[in-house]
Amino acid sequence: MKGDRRARRYGPLLLALGVVMIIAAWAVAARVIAAVIILPGPGETVVALWSQMTNRSFYGHLAGTVARTMVGFAAAFAVGLAWGLLRGSSNLAGPVLLPALVLIRSTPVIAIILLALIWFRASLAPVFVTWLMVVPVVVENVTAGTRAASGQLREMASVYRVPRSRRIRELTLPALRPYLFASAHAGLGMAYKVTVAAEVIVQPRNALGGAMQEARFYLDTPRILALTLAVIAVSALTESLLRTIERLAPGLRRGRASASPADHAIVSRDGAAPARIAAPAAAQPVLVSEVSRSYGAHLVFAGLSVAFEPGEITVVLGPSGCGKTTLLRLIAGLDEPHSGTIEAPECRSMVFQEPRLLPWADAAANIEFVLAGTDAARVRESLQLARLPLHGAAYPDALSGGMQQRLSLARAFAYCGQMLLLDEPFQNLDLAVKLELAGQVRTVTAGCGVTIMVTHDVVEALATGDRIIIMAGTPGRIVGEERVDLDTGERDPRCAAHQRHAARLYDVLLSAR
């Protein structure tokens, strides 16, 4: 942090120092060589540049070069954007398009310039060369940006049935934005160099590259360096303009820039939590019948059958590696069984082991992402239920790990489909918060269709569940089942009734090993 502050404070001074060092080295080298035709000094070059700037033809050359660079770059950016999106989002398109990309990257620039000279008239050849050289830069950055919209976030959007248009607008494009600017910075720098190089050989009208070739013919080295400085200056100016656009453009984050935490707060008059959020009616049971699933040589299930009834919370309890999360993913439709059948409602919400939040959206916007439309009341209620009433305007990176997990709970509460799936939802929380949120889960899901939670923690299981299914072994199998007949007060691990249930669960878990 201290180094960052120093860099910001002394950045302009250090930049000026770097420029001075280059000029000093240049002046020393020119004095040592002592031949203007080989290396003129800074003074001679500045005089030559001023001479060019007082000549009207210079501005025609400059305008021609800038125009060709911008046209070639814009065309490359458009094609590279479409190409990169396709390559990054499709496993099939990637291999098909890779040979063309390798071919473009591997072809020598001089070969492309000579071919362009044959294929196009002089004014268009540099544009084509620039377009072809910049396309791979844009493709690679856009491909990386498209893949940066992680598979985990895409899975989350799939579970909540977020429409494709919203996924593109609020998930893919925000993840892509920094890569677009990175490709623009790299592509523009390359575009100027390639355009001028092509102009030197092609010799179109009104071109700085053509003027350089003319200066070379007369061995006018100061003029060549002066024109080079002009290209560098225009490139630097374009780069600065792009950085300004990047700063002023809408930020990575979607949210309410002017909102304060209180804007999203809701506190009932008596301090109690709001009533549960209503869920769709006509919930159906979840039926897992003779399901088998393996990953490579690892067999997770072999003929597993189990039913989950609506109106109760079923906890799947077991050690790590027994297939709890795989079972939840199969029920959610994120994976397919190799044999057997699963019958489950399509309208579902899910809390994953990771929060899976959009980093560029505030807490309220993360919840709204999975809703059919803007519903401020539902967002506020779900934040209150998850003990985040004052954090609606906070971004994920400003929240602790436990708060992020509670936000993912709030998102699930707000959606509240016919089925709620909870994959170790309390793993990053302390005991008191676990018990409180377990009570909130019971409140929210009362009569709210099928609720299935997986955990390896006996305390979490007894604090949350009405029915506990115990799994163990590899492949995973059901080794026991327990009905939980505890009232709200007895779900405290200090209560004797809780401890009796826990002792029975521990006996089954330890004997199953």
In tens, the pLDDT along 477-506 reads 899 999 998 888 889 999 999 999 999 999
Residue 460: per-residue pLDDT? 93
Same domain, 449 and 353: yes
189 and 296 together in one domain:
no
Q: What's the pLDDT at 255?
A: 46
Question: What pLDDT sits at residue 261?
Answer: 37
Which string of b and e fits 463-496 if b means at least 16 CB within 10 Å?
Answer: bbbbbbbbbbeebbbbbbebebebeeebbeeeee
- Residue 397 within any structural domain of the chain: no
Question: The domain containing residue 492 runs over which residues?
Answer: 286-360+416-512
Sorting pLDDT into bands at 50, 70 and 90, what band is 267? very low
Q: Is residue 82 part of a domain?
A: yes
Before 174, cis peptide (omega within 30)? no
Domain tally, the chain: 2
- Both 239 and 301 in one domain: the answer is no
Residue 279 lies in a domain: no
pLDDT by residue (tens digit) across 188-216?
A: 889 999 999 998 888 888 888 888 998 88
How far is residue 72's CA from residue 65's CA, in Å, rounded to a whole number?
11
Within a domain: residue 296? yes
Please enumerate in sequence order all residues whose Cβ is within 8 A of that of 319, keeping only pairs 6 or more positions apart, or say none. 456, 472, 509, 513
85 vs 79: CA distance, rounded Å: 10
Average pLDDT (334-352) is 90
Average pLDDT of the chain to the nearest whole number: 84
Model pLDDT for residues 52-73, shown as the tens digit of each residue: 888 888 899 999 999 999 999 9
Residues 232, 302 share a domain: no
pLDDT at 307 over 90: yes
Whether the predicted pLDDT of 50 surpasses 80: yes
CA atoms of 384 and 390, how far apart (whole Å): 8
Return the pLDDT at 260. 38
Specify whether 219 is located in the same domain as 293: no
| Co-location of 239 and 305 in the same domain | no
- pLDDT tens for 344-354 read 888 888 999 88
Please return the burial class of 151, using the count of CB atoms within 10 Å of its CB with bins 0-12, 13-18 and 19+: exposed
Position 396 in a domain: no
Residue range 87-116, pLDDT digits in tens: 887 777 778 888 888 888 888 888 988 888
Whether 455 shows a pLDDT value over 90: the answer reads yes
Confidence (pLDDT) at 250: 55
* Helices and strands of the chain, counted as H and E runs: 18, 9
Regarding whether 201 and 66 lie in a shared domain, the answer is yes
Residue 423: predicted pLDDT: 93
Measure the CA–CA gap between 315 and 312, rounded to whole angstroms. 10
Do 181 and 311 belong to one domain? no
> Strand, coil or helix: what is 413?
helix
CATH number of domain containing 17: 1.10.3720.10
Q: Specify the pLDDT at position 259.
A: 39
Do the domain assignments include residue 372? Answer: no
Q: Mark whether 346 and 235 lie in a shared domain.
A: no
Dist CA 305 CA 288 (whole Å): 5
pTM of the full structure: 0.69
- State whether 167 and 302 are in the same domain: no
Residue 390 inside a domain? The answer is: no
pLDDT for residue 258 = 36
CATH of the domain at 317: 3.40.50.300
